[in-house]
Amino acid sequence: MKKILYVLLAAFLSQTIANAWPWDYTSLNLKEAQRAQKYGTTNRYFASTNSNNPASAVKVKDPGLIPFGNYEKVDNVKFQAKVKKDEVQYAKIKENLRKNKVDDYNTQAYPKDFYNVYRIAERIIRANNLDYINWRIAIRKTSDGEFNAASSNTNYIVLYTGLYDTLSDNDDAMALVIGHEMAHQLLGHGQRAARIISSRDRQYDFSTDTYANFDAAMRNAIANTKLQKMEYSADVEGAILAARAGYNLDSAKETLSFINTLPYIGFITLSHPNPEKRLRNFDENRKFFVEPQWKLEGKYNIYTSNVLDCRKSSDRTSIIISRGSAKSPDSYYRPETVDEILLRYAYKSYKNGDFEDAEKYFNKLLKKDKGNYILYLYLSYTCEYLYKQTGNDKYLEKAKDAARKGLVFAPNDKYLKEQAAAL
């Protein structure tokens, strides 16, 4: 009751002050113009859509011994022939989606919109070997045109019309959204979130005891922090899925840029991070992406797979993208392991000229895999460049030591021999 009285009193006082205050309207407008520089949606949108490509690779020694992606190079003529063949199947699917349409589009989306979403999702699925299960994707109308998407039940994605209409002319941005929602399920976020929320709600104590309420608030904050971390992770994994499918991540970034223009209040939008932090997370992690290799892997996966069929679901608001032909379980998508991510961090730090970080990551990897001569070779390269940058003799000794240790495990490797001789 006290809280209600405080709210009413605050509202009354604010209205009274607003009506009684002798405003200097020109000064007021100048101050508001200053605030608009920070909060104005166009400023926030274009500041975050500016291309922020990963650091350009510097010219360093790289014999190409660290592979990324499981693929073979595809002859471009053969690939284009496969694409042309696939287009025949796509035309049939497009026509099938036009059939059995209904007049009430409050219930069912337009066939062209279903087809647009299908083509983007199907490309991501094939490029990433995600065709082990039927995927379901809905376009759902909301009364307020909400800019949002969601996923549940491991294979069900919902695109709200506000989001779809905003991004419908940008396939790259739409691919990032779909990739993000797929990533939630692929990384097990659905199960984890359910456990986190269940545990949080089960422990709530709505008594009037101050300590009990404080304790419940703390558990709620911890739960939301965990949920926000999963959003960061899904942004990164979703970008990887889109990149492997050949989508342009510079253009795809429009998704996060638009979110950055939306109202955000931390204590209300509890389960999602601050949009500006999501943009920084995207840019920071993209420095470590191996986009050219992933694109080649996705191209190979598309070349060696067939078009996935699509049909309307019985719920009238979604489509079903059918699973592919049976494969070996080992050929399907797997999230990167911690060691694989560390290797990518180490390699890209080295290629980008961030040699201190590269040394840190290569040493972490060698603690787990002390007999890997390739890691010793790249660590030696890294320390050599650190020596050239700093003139510190300790890095020269580290470079020599890494080369010597590598030769213990691969005494005949020509690159290690060359490196040892050069040092």
Global confidence as pTM: 0.87
250 and 364 inside one domain: no
DSSP per position, 332-348: S--PPPHHHHHHHHHHH
Dihedral sign of CA atoms 306, 316, 255, 133 in order: negative
327 and 344 inside one domain: no
The low-confidence residues of the chain, meaning pLDDT below 50, are 1-8, 12-13, 15, 17-18, 267-268
- Tell me the one-letter amino acid at 78: K
146 and 244 inside one domain: yes
316 and 233 inside one domain: yes
138 and 272 inside one domain: yes
pLDDT for the residue numbered 109: 79
In a domain, 68, yes or no: no
pLDDT for the residue numbered 378: 97
In a domain, 387, yes or no: yes
152 and 224 inside one domain: yes
DSSP per position, 151-168: EETTTEEEEEHHHHHHHT
324 and 208 inside one domain: yes
pLDDT for the residue numbered 216: 66
> How is the beta sheet containing 156-160 ordered, strand by strand?
149-152, 156-160, 135-140, 318-321, 310-312
95 and 225 inside one domain: yes
Angle at 279 between CA 273 and CA 285, to 5 degrees: 105
In a domain, 241, yes or no: yes
Measuring CA to CA, how many Å separate 322 from each of 93, 118, 126, 165, 294? 12, 11, 11, 25, 24
Beta-bridge partner residues of 149 = 159
Helix boundaries (H) for 203-248:
210-244
285 and 262 inside one domain: yes
Domain that holds residue 11: 2-39
314: CB partners within 8 A, 6+ apart: none
Length of the chain as a residue count: 423
pLDDT for the residue numbered 72: 87
Tell me the pLDDT tens digit for each residue of 7-33.
445 554 454 544 555 567 767 777 878
CA 350 to CA 78: how far, in whole Å? Answer: 35
In a domain, 61, yes or no: no
17 and 86 inside one domain: no
pLDDT for the residue numbered 193: 77
pLDDT for the residue numbered 268: 47
- Tell me the one-letter amino acid at 104: D
In a domain, 373, yes or no: yes
119 and 142 inside one domain: yes
In a domain, 33, yes or no: yes
343 and 278 inside one domain: no
pLDDT for the residue numbered 384: 96
Q: Chain-centre distance of CA 240, in angstroms?
A: 6
pLDDT for the residue numbered 38: 75
The CATH number of the domain where 388 resides is what?
A: 1.25.40.10
Number of domains in the chain: 3
pLDDT for the residue numbered 1: 47
